[in-house]
Amino acid sequence: MSLSQFRLDGKTALITGSNRGIGLAIARLFLEAGARCLLTSRSETPELLDLLSDHSETAHWLAADVTTPDAPATLVAASLDRFGSLDILVNNAGIADNDDFHNFSDERLAAIMDTNFNAPFRLAREAVVPMLAQGGGAIVNIGSISGFVANKPQLQVAYNSSKAAIHQMTTTMAFEYAARGIRVNALAPGYVVSDMTKGGLAREDWSSVWAANTPMGRFGQPEEMANCVLFLASDAASYVTGTTLTADGGYTTH
């Protein structure tokens, strides 16, 4: 294997939720690996603005709410118009919410499913069309260990169900498109230091349980997740499709 197989030179990636956390780390790494990136999120952050300034020729940001009906077509068209292709889709945007199952309202359920499952489904559906026309591509969906286990001590059945759906979508899409040159994989992160987890990390009664149940004894960093996504998106994973790669410090080993 050559290290060049991890390069993304000449490829265009569309990355959702790219203004912070795992999404921003993926964007940074992809740009370092030579990709052209269409980045999208609901809002800007200083870190995102710095990244755009440093990569003014190869990175472009478009504000979008991925749950709106027109977002998938708009984002895919923007990638094609700006860079001439769409080779990689990273469905990273997501939200979390927790409560007792019997207290979870329809409105909160809809918000979780719209962001974590419906939006990635629709965006992948739109992205597949130009990928088929050009003869191939790669899709990486960001799932979670929550798609495999019941987390503790927080109760979050809606979030867990949305991530399990992402894992199954990944498996089924991979089967459908493998012979047509499109690889589809997912990443299932464990507990990662990010804006999504900062509330839980600040609670000793939660974070102590998370740490105690992680054999490596620490939480992951966004950059570690980005490394995994780069592998799945690159030619280094040319024979990998339909897998959900777990990166959780050993959390799901017991």
The CATH number that applies at residue 145 is 3.40.50.720
Q: What is the pLDDT of residue 1?
A: 62
Catalytic residue of the set 159, 177, 191, 251: 159
Active site (annotated) includes residue 159: yes
Is the model's pLDDT at 196 over the cut of 90? no
1: exposed, middle or buried (C-beta count within 10 Å: 0-12, 13-18, 19+)? exposed
Q: What percent of the chain has a predicted confidence (pLDDT) above 90?
A: 95
Q: What is the pLDDT of residue 100?
A: 96
Q: How far, rounded to the nearest angstrom, does the alpha carbon of residue 73 sit from its chain's CA centroid?
A: 19
**pLDDT single digits (tens) 126-158:** 999 999 999 999 999 999 999 999 999 999 999
Between the CA of residue 245 and those of 140, 148, 190, what are the distances in Å?
10, 12, 11
Joined together, the tokens standing for residue 25 give 């780390």
Q: Kindly state the tokens that stand for 14.
A: 């569309």
Q: Which two tokens stand for residue 132?
A: 């088929």
Asked, for residue 252, whether it belongs to a domain, the answer is: no
* Single-letter amino acid, residue 141: N
Residue 248 lies in a domain: no
- Whether 175 maps to a domain, the answer reads yes
Q: How many CB atoms lie within 10 A of CB 239?
A: 6
Q: And the tokens for 96?
A: 């979390």
Read off the pLDDT of residues 68-106 as tens digits, 9 standing for 90 and up: 999 999 999 999 999 999 999 999 999 999 999 999 999
d(CA 72, CA 122): 6
Residue 249, domain member (yes or no) = no
20-37 burial by CB neighbour count: b if 16+ within 10 A, else e? bbbbbbbbbbbbebebbb
Return the closest-CA partner of residue 120 out of 145, 96, 139, 147.
Answer: 139
Q: Which of 21-35, 40-54, 189-203 has the lowest mean pLDDT?
A: 189-203
pLDDT at 181 over 70: yes
Assign 120 to helix, strand or coil.
Answer: helix
Judge whether 117 and 144 are in contact, CB under 8 Å: no
Residue 159: inside a domain: yes
Asked, for residue 254, whether it belongs to a domain, the answer is no
Domain that holds residue 154: 3-243
pLDDT at res. 239? 98
* 170 in Cβ contact with 186 (< 8 Å): yes
Q: Does the global pTM surpass 0.95?
A: yes
Locate 39 and state its tokens: 């980045």
Supply the mean pLDDT for the chain. Answer: 97
The answer as to whether 232 is a domain residue is yes
Q: Is residue 173 part of a domain?
A: yes
pLDDT of residue 22: 98
Alpha helices in 84-180 (DSSP H): 106-113, 119-134, 157-177
How many domains would you assign to the chain?
1
